[in-house]
Protein backbone atom coordinates (compact mmCIF):
# COMPACT_ATOMS: atom_id res chain seq x y z
CA UNK A 1 0.00 0.00 0.00
CA UNK A 2 1.38 3.42 -0.97
CA UNK A 3 1.78 6.20 1.54
CA UNK A 4 -1.57 8.01 1.51
CA UNK A 5 -0.08 10.82 3.61
CA UNK A 6 2.79 11.70 1.24
CA UNK A 7 1.28 15.06 0.21
CA UNK A 8 0.55 15.98 3.80
CA UNK A 9 4.07 15.05 4.93
CA UNK A 10 5.48 17.23 2.16
CA UNK A 11 3.27 20.14 3.24
CA UNK A 12 4.10 19.89 6.96
CA UNK A 13 7.79 19.15 6.17
CA UNK A 14 7.81 16.08 8.40
CA UNK A 15 8.37 12.51 7.20
CA UNK A 16 7.00 10.14 9.81
CA UNK A 17 9.06 7.13 10.84
CA UNK A 18 5.91 5.47 12.22
CA UNK A 19 3.12 5.85 9.63
CA UNK A 20 0.61 4.27 12.02
CA UNK A 21 1.19 7.13 14.42
CA UNK A 22 0.29 9.57 11.67
CA UNK A 23 -2.78 7.51 10.73
CA UNK A 24 -3.82 7.59 14.40
CA UNK A 25 -4.05 11.41 14.21
CA UNK A 26 -7.18 11.11 12.05
CA UNK A 27 -9.24 8.45 13.85
CA UNK A 28 -12.26 10.07 15.44
CA UNK A 29 -13.93 8.06 18.21
CA UNK A 30 -17.18 7.90 16.18
CA UNK A 31 -15.35 5.81 13.55
CA UNK A 32 -14.54 3.15 16.16
CA UNK A 33 -18.23 2.78 17.04
CA UNK A 34 -18.74 1.36 13.54
CA UNK A 35 -15.38 -0.45 13.32
CA UNK A 36 -15.10 -2.21 16.67
CA UNK A 37 -12.05 -4.31 15.73
CA UNK A 38 -10.04 -1.50 14.13
CA UNK A 39 -6.34 -1.88 14.93
CA UNK A 40 -5.79 1.68 16.22
CA UNK A 41 -7.44 3.73 19.00
CA UNK A 42 -9.03 7.18 18.53
CA UNK A 43 -6.84 10.28 18.42
CA UNK A 44 -7.86 11.35 21.94
CA UNK A 45 -4.65 10.29 23.73
CA UNK A 46 -2.53 12.00 21.07
CA UNK A 47 -4.71 15.10 21.35
CA UNK A 48 -4.23 15.15 25.15
CA UNK A 49 -0.46 14.97 24.68
CA UNK A 50 -0.53 17.53 21.84
CA UNK A 51 -2.46 19.97 24.01
CA UNK A 52 0.30 19.86 26.67
CA UNK A 53 3.09 20.09 24.08
CA UNK A 54 1.36 23.07 22.44
CA UNK A 55 1.05 24.79 25.80
CA UNK A 56 4.79 24.42 26.42
CA UNK A 57 5.68 25.49 22.85
CA UNK A 58 3.55 28.62 23.24
CA UNK A 59 5.17 29.50 26.59
CA UNK A 60 8.71 29.01 25.22
CA UNK A 61 7.90 30.98 22.04
CA UNK A 62 6.42 33.94 23.94
CA UNK A 63 9.30 33.90 26.42
CA UNK A 64 11.89 33.98 23.59
CA UNK A 65 10.15 36.46 21.28
CA UNK A 66 8.16 38.84 23.46
CA UNK A 67 10.36 39.74 26.42
CA UNK A 68 8.62 43.01 27.26
CA UNK A 69 5.19 41.60 28.04
CA UNK A 70 3.79 41.08 31.51
CA UNK A 71 2.91 37.61 32.84
CA UNK A 72 -0.82 38.40 32.66
CA UNK A 73 -0.41 39.32 28.99
CA UNK A 74 1.27 35.98 28.31
CA UNK A 75 -1.76 34.15 29.68
CA UNK A 76 -4.19 36.17 27.56
CA UNK A 77 -2.07 35.80 24.39
CA UNK A 78 -1.71 32.10 25.02
CA UNK A 79 -5.47 31.53 25.22
CA UNK A 80 -6.03 33.76 22.15
CA UNK A 81 -3.66 31.78 19.95
CA UNK A 82 -4.52 28.26 21.15
CA UNK A 83 -8.28 28.69 21.04
CA UNK A 84 -10.42 26.31 18.97
CA UNK A 85 -10.95 28.79 16.10
CA UNK A 86 -7.21 29.34 15.53
CA UNK A 87 -6.41 25.63 15.66
CA UNK A 88 -9.30 24.76 13.35
CA UNK A 89 -8.10 27.43 10.90
CA UNK A 90 -4.61 25.91 10.84
CA UNK A 91 -6.11 22.42 10.39
CA UNK A 92 -8.20 23.77 7.54
CA UNK A 93 -5.18 25.36 5.87
CA UNK A 94 -3.36 22.00 5.98
CA UNK A 95 -6.44 20.18 4.66
CA UNK A 96 -6.50 17.76 7.61
CA UNK A 97 -10.25 17.21 7.20
CA UNK A 98 -9.76 15.13 4.04
CA UNK A 99 -7.87 12.50 6.06
CA UNK A 100 -10.37 12.26 8.96
CA UNK A 101 -11.92 8.87 9.65
CA UNK A 102 -15.47 9.46 10.86
CA UNK A 103 -18.65 7.43 11.35
CA UNK A 104 -21.39 7.78 8.72
CA UNK A 105 -23.46 9.77 11.20
CA UNK A 106 -20.65 12.19 12.01
CA UNK A 107 -19.92 12.50 8.30
CA UNK A 108 -23.55 13.37 7.54
CA UNK A 109 -23.66 15.81 10.43
CA UNK A 110 -20.84 17.86 8.89
CA UNK A 111 -18.04 16.41 11.04
CA UNK A 112 -15.38 17.36 8.50
CA UNK A 113 -16.23 21.04 8.99
CA UNK A 114 -16.68 20.75 12.79
CA UNK A 115 -14.26 23.24 14.36
CA UNK A 116 -13.86 21.21 17.56
CA UNK A 117 -12.96 18.03 15.66
CA UNK A 118 -10.51 19.95 13.42
CA UNK A 119 -8.87 21.65 16.42
CA UNK A 120 -8.55 18.31 18.25
CA UNK A 121 -7.05 16.72 15.13
CA UNK A 122 -4.48 19.54 14.86
CA UNK A 123 -3.47 18.99 18.51
CA UNK A 124 -3.22 15.24 17.88
CA UNK A 125 -0.86 15.99 14.98
CA UNK A 126 1.35 18.10 17.28
CA UNK A 127 1.44 15.19 19.74
CA UNK A 128 2.32 12.73 16.97
CA UNK A 129 5.16 14.92 15.61
CA UNK A 130 6.52 15.27 19.15
CA UNK A 131 6.49 11.48 19.67
CA UNK A 132 7.77 10.51 16.23
CA UNK A 133 10.40 13.25 15.85
CA UNK A 134 11.27 15.63 18.71
CA UNK A 135 10.15 18.67 20.68
CA UNK A 136 12.17 20.82 18.27
CA UNK A 137 10.27 19.42 15.25
CA UNK A 138 6.89 20.07 16.89
CA UNK A 139 8.09 23.58 17.88
CA UNK A 140 9.00 24.35 14.25
CA UNK A 141 5.71 22.93 12.98
CA UNK A 142 3.63 25.07 15.36
CA UNK A 143 5.79 28.13 14.62
CA UNK A 144 5.19 27.82 10.91
CA UNK A 145 1.57 26.72 10.75
CA UNK A 146 -0.03 28.32 13.80
CA UNK A 147 2.08 31.28 14.95
CA UNK A 148 3.42 32.58 11.65
CA UNK A 149 2.09 36.14 11.07
CA UNK A 150 -0.96 35.46 13.23
CA UNK A 151 0.79 35.77 16.59
CA UNK A 152 2.57 39.02 15.68
CA UNK A 153 -0.74 40.42 14.50
CA UNK A 154 -2.46 39.42 17.74
CA UNK A 155 0.27 40.95 19.93
CA UNK A 156 0.68 44.20 17.97
CA UNK A 157 -3.04 44.90 17.90
CA UNK A 158 -3.65 43.69 21.47
CA UNK A 159 -6.24 41.26 20.14
CA UNK A 160 -5.28 38.88 22.92
CA UNK A 161 -7.42 40.85 25.34
CA UNK A 162 -10.76 39.08 25.24
CA UNK A 163 -13.89 41.15 24.71
CA UNK A 164 -14.98 40.02 28.18
CA UNK A 165 -11.76 41.39 29.76
CA UNK A 166 -12.03 44.66 27.85
CA UNK A 167 -15.70 45.14 28.75
CA UNK A 168 -14.95 44.48 32.40
CA UNK A 169 -12.02 46.97 32.36
CA UNK A 170 -14.19 49.61 30.70
CA UNK A 171 -17.16 49.29 33.06
CA UNK A 172 -15.02 48.88 36.16
CA UNK A 173 -12.90 51.90 35.24
CA UNK A 174 -15.93 54.08 34.57
CA UNK A 175 -18.53 52.87 37.07
CA UNK A 176 -16.57 50.84 39.70
CA UNK A 177 -18.80 47.83 39.11
CA UNK A 178 -18.74 44.77 36.85
CA UNK A 179 -21.12 43.51 34.15
CA UNK A 180 -23.29 40.47 34.88
CA UNK A 181 -23.69 37.43 32.62
CA UNK A 182 -27.03 35.62 32.67
CA UNK A 183 -28.00 32.36 30.92
CA UNK A 184 -31.17 33.25 28.99
CA UNK A 185 -31.72 29.91 27.27
CA UNK A 186 -30.22 26.43 27.22
CA UNK A 187 -31.29 23.83 24.69
CA UNK A 188 -30.22 20.78 22.70
CA UNK A 189 -28.87 17.37 23.72
CA UNK A 190 -26.10 17.02 26.33
CA UNK A 191 -23.23 16.78 23.80
CA UNK A 192 -24.54 19.64 21.65
CA UNK A 193 -25.91 22.03 24.26
CA UNK A 194 -26.53 25.55 22.95
CA UNK A 195 -26.31 28.46 25.39
CA UNK A 196 -27.80 31.90 24.97
CA UNK A 197 -26.24 34.37 27.38
CA UNK A 198 -26.98 38.03 27.98
CA UNK A 199 -24.58 40.54 29.49
CA UNK A 200 -26.20 43.17 31.74
CA UNK A 201 -25.12 46.39 33.35
CA UNK A 202 -27.46 48.16 35.78
CA UNK A 203 -30.28 45.83 34.63
CA UNK A 204 -29.80 46.91 31.04
CA UNK A 205 -29.05 44.24 28.46
CA UNK A 206 -25.89 45.26 26.58
CA UNK A 207 -25.42 42.23 24.39
CA UNK A 208 -26.34 38.62 23.68
CA UNK A 209 -24.23 35.64 22.64
CA UNK A 210 -25.16 32.15 21.44
CA UNK A 211 -22.60 29.30 21.39
CA UNK A 212 -21.92 25.68 22.29
CA UNK A 213 -20.19 26.64 25.54
CA UNK A 214 -21.01 29.21 28.22
CA UNK A 215 -17.53 30.70 27.96
CA UNK A 216 -17.84 31.27 24.21
CA UNK A 217 -21.39 32.63 24.53
CA UNK A 218 -20.19 35.12 27.19
CA UNK A 219 -17.35 36.23 24.90
CA UNK A 220 -19.77 36.77 21.97
CA UNK A 221 -22.15 38.66 24.28
CA UNK A 222 -19.29 40.93 25.39
CA UNK A 223 -18.27 41.53 21.77
CA UNK A 224 -21.91 42.30 20.98
CA UNK A 225 -21.95 44.77 23.88
CA UNK A 226 -19.01 46.64 22.29
CA UNK A 227 -21.03 46.98 19.09
CA UNK A 228 -23.80 48.60 21.15
CA UNK A 229 -21.53 50.79 23.27
CA UNK A 230 -23.43 53.97 22.53
CA UNK A 231 -26.19 52.51 24.72
CA UNK A 232 -23.93 52.49 27.76
Residues annotated catalytic, as ranges? 51, 123
Distance CA 230, CA 232 (A): 5
Distance CA 80, CA 179 (A): 22
Q: What is d(CA 185, CA 100) in angstroms, rounded to the nearest whole number?
A: 33
Distance between CA atoms of residues 159 and 152, nearest Å: 10
Alpha-helical (H) ranges within the chain are 6-12, 19-24, 29-34, 44-65, 71-81, 84-94, 104-108, 115-132, 135-142, 150-156, 163-175, 214-227
Amino acid sequence: MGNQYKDLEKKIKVTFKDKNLLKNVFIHRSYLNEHKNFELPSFERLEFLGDSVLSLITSVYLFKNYGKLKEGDYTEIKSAIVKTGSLAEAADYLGLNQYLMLSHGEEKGGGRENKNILADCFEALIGAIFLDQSFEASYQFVGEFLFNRKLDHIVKNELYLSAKSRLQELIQGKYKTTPKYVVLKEEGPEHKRVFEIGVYFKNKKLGVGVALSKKEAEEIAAQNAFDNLSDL
